[in-house]
Structure 1
């Protein structure tokens, strides 16, 4: 509970942003955002009201399931929520904030996450693809690029993240390169096989759009 007290103080007393608080406390930005959302739901600000000095009581206010039911019982389109989550940069926190912007007296963040998980479980059709050990390595470039700052010039470069995974164990290898061109693509394969200490029977590559 020490973190939430510090986060509230830095937010309300010093006016720091989520990013600045995360950097100062060495925690993730999503953790800071979640604490602030839960504090807002619980009606907590800074300084904390009397009676919130005990960790157990503060934890119940932030994470306890008991509380008044929402006045607005409207639910979002869960299919649309799940589809939106597949877009780059979209998170549950962001979608819940959009929901609460339209329904200020609606449900809380924990309920929202549980409903999304339940919908996914009902809607998903699972197929278990079994791989024998050493039979396959799957490779691709993953997600958004990562900024890399040249310490000598201060120039920011965009790093592409090459990812390899073994089908049987899900053991994952990742490597950053400055392009997806053929030399970097081949270098990624070599580095992955070196990391794994051997060669699989097959290497399954996604359709590379550049090279």
Structure 2
């Protein structure tokens, strides 16, 4: 029962998060969440009221109920999640963390990803494009820029990421350049073909 007292104190007096408490006490985050949930269900406050801080009584209050505590079954707005994923820099991990911040006893990351994938499959038509080996190379600039520091001057330059992919194998080539101007674009194409060791039957940019 020492852990639950410490968890309650760290939560209410120091305002620590579940993760911070778990790291400080060297216990699992799920254990911290379970203790806090059971303490809320038992109506415990901090400081513990007189008479409820005895180990035997505290244990009965927290664990007298049989079975696991109920989970927070609230689900996100999946349509909103999918729209948010289209924004620059937004990831599934970030959206799941925002969901768990509002629902600490909610579902885990794997479930979250599975439900997003299932929603996408239901809501969007899919076409399976089959590529013959060596037939197609797709190229584009992808994602946000990457900061590159000039070791001589310390000046930071934003680098563009050129990406080439072979359609059949998904073998990927990536190269950083300082612009998307035509000379850099041609240089990226040449470097990709050199990396692959040959020329595909067709090469086109993804628009």
Q: Distance in 2 between matches of 1:135 and 1:58?
A: 69
Residue correspondences, number: 198
CA distance in structure 2 between the partners assigned to 1:2 and 1:132 by the alignment: 64
Bigger CA radius of gyration: 2
Q: What secondary structure does 1:139 align onto?
A: strand
Alignment partner of 1:30: what SS? helix
Asked whether the 8 Å contact 1:41–1:108 carries over to 2, the reply is no
Question: Which residue number corresponds to residue 24 of structure 1?
Answer: 24
TM-score, normalised relative to structure 2: 0.59
Q: Where in structure 1 do 4 or more consecutive aligned residues deviate above 4 Å?
A: 1-67
In the TM superposition, residue 96 of structure 1 has moved relative to its aligned partner by 2.0
2:164 equivalent in structure 1: 164
Task: Report if the CA contact (8 A) 2:140-2:163 is conserved.
Answer: yes
Gap regions ≥5 residues in structure 2: 199-207
How far did 1:91 drift? 1.7
State the 1:137 CA deviation. Answer: 1.3
After superposition, the C-alpha distances for 1:46-84 in whole angstroms (9 at most, x for unaligned) are 999999999999999999999835453221111111221
Q: How does 1:179-198 map to 2 (within 5 A)?
A: 179-198=179-198
Asked whether the equivalents of residues 93 and 109 of structure 2 are also in contact (C-alpha less than 8 Å), the reply is: yes
Q: What is the CA-CA distance between 1:101 and the residue it aligns to?
A: 3.3
- TM-aligned CA deviation for residue 102 of structure 1: 3.2
Is the contact made by 2:33 and 2:105 (CA closer than 8 Å) also made in structure 1?
A: no
